[in-house]
Chains A and B, each alone.
Chain A
Amino acid sequence: MSNSAQLKITSELAGQIRSHGAECYPHECCGALLGRDTEVADRRVYREIHALHPLVNRRDDSPQNRFSVTSKDVLEAEKDARARGLEVVGWYHSHPDHPARPSQFDRDHAWPWYSYIIVSVANKIPEDMTSWRLADDRTDFECEEIELQQAAS
């Protein structure tokens, strides 16, 4: 489905995800990605992030290596998206002191179609950022290319 998936995000929003990760360190941060898909030639779709909806990590048992967003939060994020004429197209979270790649836990709990951005935060300093999409058969997370765009001034 997402063979050459591509995600466009402004460097400003990418910066906000990084700072959210640094703020929450050593805990995981999380939030919704609001944007839309645009179909271009050959049924290829590119996805653009226009806004973020930061959330509170509901995992108070082990917030340093887990995050969880309740269905209520999801509904609110969707409401926020609709109000801005956008859709919830994915989620971001941080991996404190852990590489920016999905864990087995991430994969087991992932939804298809959504983009999952992971930012690695090492000792309070945000580092790599990657984005992933679950394969249709749930066996694999496919890396999605992030295209950073300069914010229009």
Chain B
Amino acid sequence: MSVKVMIPTPLRVYAGKRESADVAAATVGEALAQLTMQFGDLRKHLFTEDGKLRSFVNVYINDEDIRYLAKENTPTKDGDTVSIVPSIAGGSSPTKIQSPATQPGSATRKATSLTNEEILRYSRHLIMPEVGMEGQLKLKNSKVLLIGTGGLGAPLGLYLAAAGVGHLGLVDFDVVDFTNLQRQVSFGSDDVGKPKTAAAQSRLSNLNPDIKIETFETKLTSENALDLFKDFDIIVDGTDNFPTRYLVNDACILLGKPNVYGSIFRFEGQVTVFGMPDGPCYRCLYPEPPPPGLVPSCAEGGVLGVLPGIVGSIQAMETIKLILGAGESLKGRLLLFDALAMKFRELKLRKNHDCPMCGDHPTITKLIDYYEFCGVRGEEAPASDVQVPEITPRDLKTRLDRGDDLFILDVREPHEYQICNLHGHLIPLGELPRRVHELDSSREIVAHCRSGKRSAEAVDFLRKAGFRKILNLKGGILAWSDEVDPSVPKY
């Protein structure tokens, strides 16, 4: 039977600019199948991935909506006209959207009551009028994604799980190591060597077995961020590097989701909420990343163990306030915490109307390469790409044992020298330029630091200063401890 299918204007570009196509079909469903066989590009606009007609695609046979007939099984007669008619929908507040792809069946249904066990568990919330049953149900129905399960992620995960946030997502690709335990309080000594997401999941589900904990053992990237974020209501940034902060910010702005931001360094912390309607974003505060290497990471600069506990707890509080709709959020305010002075200060943050991300005329409309944007290949990449001559710990040991005349230069800080040393001559990297005269360029020098990164810079600097017989100890004291002398502690 010959049926004419009318193609709506927005789809004509995928159908050779035609207004209609003639197909042979016995039902409306067949007519549409024939049409998409002729014009393959139409398929994804008409049908979902599992082959269902999209909700906003209406189909009429002559002037009757097939929904009121036999839907796609509606029979066709010779000369019938099948019209595809758009219905148009949209709207703000994407936090209310649930993706059918990841929430099959009834899983999307909202909880409307608490069990007796839950009532007991949350009784200190329930007796507060500001939370009450309504607030507790909001917590239960909320979905929060934690980026990072380390220093900030630990108190965040613990408090949000304990408070009854119904669905927690954990993103981390790292494994627990001994240096984490000084501040990442959701892990125990037994967890060393385990993936952080798995260790956190086990701790949090023990704390609160009633909630869903979803783990994503992966690095957050421009490729996966939107997909990971889309099913969550609130994103909490507990990361420690600039590329990921920009990535989290941009993905939140693109999806219209709040970003509860926290950062820590040594004795200081910062907290705010980005991505709120009319509020500023991370790029309004920091339009450009700092030059690579200028701001040291926790691994390089250190962090006092309690600090992430305080900052992460404030982030947890802000997250819960957003869910409850209670109080005043930190939107537009940057809270600064100085642990040494034990002072909180507050800076006003304004939305930058010229912001390329959230301003009046955004120029960034998709995720970019954030490592390139921040000028680093990755947070593990050395700040400088200098290639310098190296010596392995084993070769150094052999040569020292042989009695070769080698001058060992330690470019770490004095307090690091106290932890352990290779009996070298100590000149911290920062003092090297004005203390070069202490070195004898006619002698063979081996420079080292903790990991080999700072000493590579020292070797590069000294080579430029005319030193020719200088080598970098590959892998630093860490490698020395692994390969030569395990009695030297790693830190």
Which A residues have a C-beta under 8 Å from some C-beta of B?
Answer: 1, 28, 30, 59, 62, 65-71, 73-75, 87-89, 91, 93, 95-99, 101-106, 108-114, 116, 118, 122, 128, 130, 136-138, 140-143
Contacts and interface: CB of A to CB of B under 8 A. Distances in A.
26 contacts: A28-B92, A59-B89, A62-B91, A65-B96, A66-B93, A67-B88, A67-B90, A68-B87, A71-B58, A93-B90, A96-B92, A98-B93, A102-B90, A104-B94, A104-B255, A105-B93, A109-B56, A111-B11, A111-B86, A112-B13, A113-B9, A113-B10, A118-B90, A130-B361, A137-B44, A141-B365
A75 B84 CA distance: 11
A122 to B, nearest CB: 6
Nearest to A129: B360
Nearest to B96: A65
Interface in B251-278: 253-256, 277-278
A116 B90 contact: yes
Interface in B73-99: 85-94, 96-97
A103 to B, nearest CB: 4
Interface string B355-380: 00010111101100000000000000
Q: Which 4 A-B pairs have the closest CB atoms?
A: A98-B92, A65-B93, A113-B10, A66-B91
Contacts of A91: 88, 90
B61 to A, nearest CB: 13
B59 to A, nearest CB: 9
Among B86, B89, B91, the one with the most A-chain Cβ atoms within 10 Å of its Cβ is B91
A68 B96 contact: no
Nearest to B256: A103
Contacts of B93: 65-66, 98, 103, 105
A66 B365 contact: no
A54 to B, nearest CB: 13
B19 to A, nearest CB: 11
B14 A74 contact: no
Contacts of B90: 30, 66-67, 91, 93, 102-103, 105-106, 109-110, 116, 118
B92 A104 contact: no
A101 B91 CA distance: 10
Interface of B: 8-14, 41, 44-45, 55-56, 58, 60, 65, 85-94, 96-97, 230, 253-256, 277-278, 358, 360-363, 365-366
Given A113-B13, A122-B278, A28 B91 contact: yes
Contacts of A105: 89-91, 93-94, 97
B277 A98 contact: yes
Contacts of A99: 256, 277-278, 358
A69 B358 CA distance: 28
Contacts of B358: 99, 101
Contacts of B55: 109
Contacts of A68: 87-89
A106 B254 CA distance: 12
Contacts of A141: 365
Nearest to B257: A104
Contacts of A73: 87-88
Contact of B88 (A69, A102, A140, A142): A69
Contacts of A108: 97
A66 B279 CA distance: 21
Contacts of B361: 130
B91 A67 contact: yes
Nearest to A96: B92
